[in-house]
Amino acid sequence: MSGISGVRTWVAERPPAAGAAVMATAVVSIGLRLAGVEVVSRIFLAAACLAWLTLAAAFALRLTGQRGRWAEEARDPAALTAVAATAVLGTRISLLGLQPLAGALLALAALLWPVLLVAVLRNWGQRMPGTVFMCCVATQAIAVLAATLAGAVATAWLAHTALVLFWLGLLLYALTLPRFDTRQVLEGPGDHWIAGGALSISALAGARLISADSARLYLWNRDDSEVLRQVSAILLALDLACYAVLLLAELARPRPRYGLLRWATVFSMGMTAAATLAVGAALGVTWLSGPGKVLVWVAVAVWAAAAVGAVLAARAGNRGVREAGTADVTSTARR
């Protein structure tokens, strides 16, 4: 029973930002799928599913047993990682062909999104960290899943809903950008990369909206389609430029120490890779395939580094707990 209680306690203590690990793992799986490496992609998918279940359990434990803490954490933009993680995982599951399960995850993400978004927007401030861009990321993650499902099950209203969310996500990005503390580019612990990740997931949403169209649905006329193509291309170009700036900032001011927010870096790098491949395919720009595949493997390498850092941090934490317990026992014995 003590073991079960310990697991329950560990799960309950996961912070809201833990959702970034799910987002990162799921988007790397998507990138590998788009790059044609299906076996490895499914391994990452399995890991993402296990991480999501842990996140869901932590969310449920807070909601049912720690309402005050849940309400307080819901004001943190990092809480929106729960929405984004659910939607990104749903997108990968949809690509696997499991549309009913993907639809269930879409419904769950859509249910959580307005509640958490309103709580976050009510507590917006100035000079905020990179997690502030989660307002855009969570919105676009739902748009990506809705557009992917619309194309898979030929449902026009899902695509039209995704289009509304796509434009809303871009509006949220524009409103968020002035609130971002630009000093984070050189000082941030990892979440500053979401500034670029929000652009890449927006580009991916545009690509998915373009790909969802077909003669069977006829979602967009020529003008609508051309606007989507141009906006998606611009978003990808901005994202790649942001990626380069953030990478140069990392080289100029190295921050090798592991922290939970480093998973946001992995997510953003993986999303840039996925967006590059998806936009290239949607626009018929075949030469983007090569750079996109390179970016996928860069994201895999960074994911591996973050995973090693997480394991080492967990071991150090357990060692510290054991040493503290030994010290307490020794102190008690002396008294």
Q: How far from 37 is each of 10, 237, 297, CA to CA, in Å?
A: 34, 25, 11
Instruction: Determine if the pTM surpasses 0.85.
Output: yes
Supply the pLDDT for residue 92: 96
Q: How far from 22 is each of 18, 44, 45, 98, 186, CA to CA, in Å?
A: 7, 10, 10, 19, 25
pLDDT band of 253, cuts 50, 70, 90: very high
Nearest-angstrom CA–CA distance, 197 and 243: 9
Counting residues of the chain whose pLDDT is more than 90, the rounded percentage is 67
Q: How far from 309 is each of 54, 259, 260, 296, CA to CA, in Å?
A: 19, 8, 9, 20
Show the tokens assigned to 137: 């990321």
Measured torsion, CA atoms of residues 122, 142, 276, 184, in degrees rounded to the nearest 10: 20
The pLDDT tens digits of the residues spanning 187-214 come to 989 999 999 999 999 999 999 999 998 7
Nearest-angstrom CA–CA distance, 76 and 261: 14
Annotate 66-130 with DSSP letters as a single string. Answer: -HHHHHHHTTSGGGGHHHHHHHHHHHHHHHTT-HHHHHHHHHHHHHHHHHHHHHHHTT--SSB-G
Supply the pLDDT for residue 10: 42
The pLDDT tens digits of the residues spanning 168-194 come to 999 999 999 999 999 999 998 999 999
The distance of Cα 252 from the centroid of its chain, to the nearest Å, equals: 26
Domains of the chain: 2-303 (1.50.10.150)
Mean predicted lDDT score pLDDT of the chain: 87
Residue 251 in 3-state DSSP? helix
